[in-house]
Chain A
């Protein structure tokens, strides 16, 4: 079956450390992969998009990698801050002709001061 899995429901790290979140998928060949941030009671907010022919994408303290052989994306937040605490969702375009994203269940990141 087709699945998108994010590494854990929750991740706790100390302020200043690098947070690494994982998104694994099976049986898809996505054209691109996206990462979103969601705060409690709010809608997700787009962070980064990486295409299948890109290995890495950066934006300020954020870095995303995309390995289509491993079917995995890693999302890094360097020099993490308590304000980075949120749930992070990965999303794929699964190329079925359906013009909608398929989302993982998310990883809740807690950055401790």
Chain B
């Protein structure tokens, strides 16, 4: 049974539109993460959270917001989507030892 799930799995959005990517974890981990993966860049950290109500900027936060309303849920919000945000987005949960568990990814295309 998948412990980290993401929705939607695929999304096509228009430039300037709002996009919300959702993540749910059943690992009871305090930490959650949003990454994007692009060819030539590997995984890059966008936002992370160390508990309900907290969000922190990662390495590339510009153009993204995050929300952690509960231990289980962590959302990534693109208020004004741009074509440069076309990517595959991964959510992960983890404890304090650095071990992370990843979701299956969301493929986002911004036209």
Are A and B interaction partners? no
